[in-house]
Every structure is written in structure tokens, then in C-alpha cells.
Amino acid sequence: MTNKNRILVVDDEKLISWSLATMLKKEGYEVETAATGNEAIQKFEEFRPKLVLLDVCLPDVNGLELLKRFKAANEDIYVIMITAYAHADSAVLALQEGAEDYFGKPFNLDAVKHVVNKAFEKTQLKKEVDYFRGELRKKSDQDKLVGNSQKMIEVFKMIKICADADAKTVLVTGESGTGKELVAKALHMHSGRSESPFIEVNCAAIPENLLENELFGHEKGAYTDASKRQKGVFEMAEGGTVFLDEIGDMPFLMQAKILKVMESKRFRRLGGQEDVEANVRIITATHQNLPKMVKEGKFRSDLFFRLNVMNIALPPLRERKEDIPSLIQYFIKTLNEEYGRSVEDIAQGALEHLMAYEWPGNVRELRNCIERLMMLEQEKTLGSEHLGAEITQASRQGSQLMRAEMSNDFSGEHILLPPEGISLEELEKLIIQLALKKSAGNQTKAAKYLKTSRDTLRYRMKKFGLGENGKEEETEEAGEPRPESVPDSSPGYGWN
């Protein structure tokens, strides 16, 4: 606990006040007590608590009036009411006035302790959320990595695991445009190092002769222009995170020095005689194939094995096309804010073109495409008129191939589903029929072929009026769309 976790207990019953104060002090909190309303007001102003345990019935004032006064003075103050069961209605009014919770007399000390601890956890979570939102407002962090696909769920899980465990070394891999940079930032912001610096170094953008100085700094007189001591990135990021982007482009000799820092947690400034401790997390990222580079002698094997302890692998967009509609909606929303537009949606025809395209530039390319459409399109619905030729041609080729391979009676015998599966949104009804036929009506297997959930498959079967074996049948109109499997509060990040 820190001295910021102060609690004021306001109760005129000395035994209750003493019991609560004793228990809370053992938990590590700073505690003050007050027996009257006037004393509570004085202690509130002098002690500046973060949380107040407040009795509804006091000898000189109603606890509800104190609650209103405390909330007016500090809207972030957490107030937990204490009430006799005979005054349960007062507890309800207190919640309406902004109290966090309440408990009745007689009470269980362990239950009170749990409520108080949860309140402080909520306070800390609010700080982290506010900080995260503030970071997302910055231009460099505008884009979110959005997705409910299984592959993205696994990415989110790995971010949480690495952040919670304070992993000292994390390797983020993936093609250009998949989101490496801001995954690194999310890992930092969701960890215990979030209030310390996050400093990024692009290893491919800094000349070899300047990189060591950038990372480790120098002493006065270390070279001709070194007129004073200068701290490097590892020193400036003390307690926080150093993000080494494009680690695959780091010069071979520098790789050995980075490995030493990782193993010893120490480094030396250029021209220095003493080691400096490095209390930082090191996150590295690359779009290159490091194992291949190791075999070719272009990357140190010992450094690779040291980096590869925790690996977050980002999937290319072509392997999670079911996320494209939600990504488009997100880009429309954010670009509306950026350009002062009021675009509402994208036309079905344009969406089909975008779903058929393979996106070699990944999410960054998709965002650029939507931005182009919004700059050229004057209507509130984005059409396909301004889509690039490479996108529309890819869509037509896919449709022609589909028609060529489908037999008239849709026997399915001439179609082979690839081992990696096919995105459900690309082929819709026909592919659902094929998957159900191939799986003999087993919906779990069919959902695996389509790389979607069984609930999503069932929803789309109902939408198209398909029976267990993929044949059409008379059905009632489909119900409301299913809720997304992952809430919108999933961590969101930009693309690198």
C-alpha cells in the first residue's frame, strides 16, 4: 500500500470505529476516525482520504448530507455507507447520490475488507483506463487493432499474460502493417510499468555508428562533439519499456551488446568507466524471419533464443478476414472525427470487393483504402466507384473461379476446402452449404472449416434458411444479429 490509500472511518459507535480502523491498518491502509459530522468534515479536509466509510446515522448530521458534501468536494472520492438494517432505504438513496457500496450492521469484517480492497482496485483500474484512453487520443495512436476472430483473441490473451507477468523480454512478430508497434505500447500500458517511460527505437532507421550512442548514451569527451554527458534510451526509460523495432535490422556487432544488457541488466555509456543498471522491459519486433536469418548467419542465435522466450505473433489480415467489417466500421468512425465527415456505412458491393482482396499491406493498407474512399466519396455510404483496380479485379477473379468450380446442382464434388479454411464472409451461403455437406451436417466440424464459431454458423444458417445438411428449407425470418463474442473493450492498438 502507499500513503495515497487513505481511509476515513466515520461512525459514532466507538467499538465499530475501532474494529474497522484496526482491521484496515493491518491491511496496510492509513486510517483516521471521526465520531461526528463536524469532525468528519475537518478530517476530510486535512487527511484527504481516498475512501470514506460513512455511517448513515450520526449525532449531529445525516450521513447522506455528508456524502453529498464529500462528492461535491471530490467527485472521485469513494464512499461506502454503513447502515442499520432499519435504515436500508437510506442505503438505496446513498447509492443514488454516488456512494460506491454499503453494508449493514452487524457486519462481517472480512466482507468489509473485501469491499474496500475491491474499491481500491477499481480506483487503480480507472487510472489505467484514463491513461490508456489519453494515449489513444494521440495521433500516433489513433488506430485500433480490432477483432473478434480466434487468432486475435489469442493475441489479446498473450498481451495480458506478458503484461501481468512483467515479462522482461517479449518478441512481437508479424508482417508489416499488422500492428506490432502499438501491441508493444499496449503491453507497456497494461503492465505495472505503465507510469514509467515507453521509448521506441527503430533499429533500421538509425545509422550503425549512431545506434550505440542512441541506446547507451555517452560521457563528456567520449568523442569530439561530446561536450557533456548524455543519457541513452536505456537510462531514460528507467523502470519502463524500451521498444526495439525492426530488431532484425540491428547490426551484428550491436546484437552482442544488446544480448549483454539483457543478461546482465547493466550497460556502459560510451567513454564511461562504470556500469549503469538497466531496470527496463525490452520489447523487440520484426517482420523478418529470424530463424532463417540465424541459419544464414545474419542474426545471432544466442540473441534469438534470448528474445524468443515470449513471442506474440500477429496474424496477417488475409487470415482473419472475418474482422474486416468491424475494422471498416471502426475506421469510418475515427476518420469521421478526423475529417469532420458523417459517413454512415459501406455499400454491400464495396464490402464484397474488400472481403475478396488479400491485403498484402494488412490493416494499414485497409485503413489507407477506407481513408481514400472517404476523401473521394461525397455520399454517406461508401461505394465501390473509387476502389483501386487491384481490389476490384481480385474480387472478379474470385467470383469467376467460384462459378467455374461450382457444378449446376451444387454437388460440391469439384470443390476442395483448403487446409487453412476459408473465410465465411467471402462465400456466404454456398460455402456454408459446402462445409455442411463435407461435414455430413456436423456443425462443429463445419464451423472449423469456415474458421468461425458454431454460434456464428448457426446464425448464418438461420439467416439463409439452411437445414442441417445445407439444404434450403422454409424458415421464419432470422432473429436479431448475435452479440459479438468479444466486447468492444478489448485492448485496441495501432498498426506497424
| Structure confidence at residue 128 as a pLDDT band (50, 70, 90) | low
* SS3 label, residue 198: strand
| Residue 174 shares a structural domain with residue 270 | yes
**C-alpha cell of 63?**
450521513
Nearest to 102 by CA among 152, 144, 52, 169: 52
Q: Which one is predicted more confidently, 424 or 239?
A: 239
Same domain, 400 and 426: no
Tell me what the mean pLDDT of segment 258-271 comes to.
90
Determine the average pLDDT of the residues in 443-448. 85
Residue 12 in this model has a pLDDT that exceeds 80: yes
Strand partners, 312: 172
Tell me: do 237 and 326 sit in the same domain: no
174, pLDDT greater than 90: yes
Domain total of the chain: 4
Is 142 inside a domain boundary? no
Residue reference for cell 497494461: 190
Element of type H or E holding 229:
none
Single out the residue of 42, 47, 76, 82 nearest to residue 63, CA to CA: 82
Claim to verify: residue 393 and residue 426 sit in the same structural domain: no
- Residue 60: how many CB atoms within 10 A of its CB? 11
Residue 135's pLDDT band (cuts 50, 70, 90):
low
For residues 398 and 325, state if they share a domain: yes
Contacts 24+ apart (CB under 8 A), 250-258: 250/203, 250/211, 251/208, 251/211, 252/298, 252/299, 252/300, 254/208, 254/211, 254/212, 254/215, 255/299, 255/300, 255/303, 256/300, 256/303, 257/212, 257/215, 257/216, 258/215, 258/282, 258/303
Indicate whether 293 and 205 sit together in one domain.
yes
Q: What is the pLDDT of residue 314?
A: 95
The mean per-residue pLDDT over the stretch 367-396 comes to: 85
- The CATH number given to whatever domain includes residue 112 is 3.40.50.2300
- pLDDT over threshold 60, residue 495: no
Whether 333 and 467 map to the same domain: the answer is no
Stretch 409-436: mean pLDDT: 58
CATH number at residue 467: 1.10.10
Owning domain of residue 200: 150-315
What digits encode the pLDDT tens for the residues 278-318? 889 999 999 999 999 999 999 999 999 999 999 999 999 99
Query: Of 184, 158, 198, nearest to 245 (Cα)?
Result: 184
Q: Which helix H or strand E contains 488, and what residues bound it?
A: none
Of 98, 129, 160, which residue constitutes the final position of a domain? 129
Torsion of CA 81, 83, 89, 90, to 10 degrees: -50
**353 assigned to some structural domain:** yes
Whether 12 and 83 map to the same domain: the answer is yes
CATH classification at residue 370: 1.10.8.60
The amino acid occupying position 361 is G
- Flag whether 282 is in a domain: yes
E strands present in 275-386: 276-277, 281-286, 311-313, 345-346, 381-382
CA 374 to chain centre: 26
CA–CA separation, 93 and 362 (whole Å): 52
**pTM for the whole thing?**
0.54
Q: Is residue 357, in this structure, part of any structural domain at all?
A: yes
Across 402-421, average pLDDT: 46
- Neighbour tally for 205: CB within 10 Å: 10
For residues 56 and 91, the answer to whether their CB atoms sit within 8 Å is yes
Q: What is the pLDDT of residue 123?
A: 72
Tell me the mean pLDDT in the region 205-218: 88
Q: Same structural domain for residues 32 and 113?
A: yes
* Domain end point (choices 405, 426, 443): 405
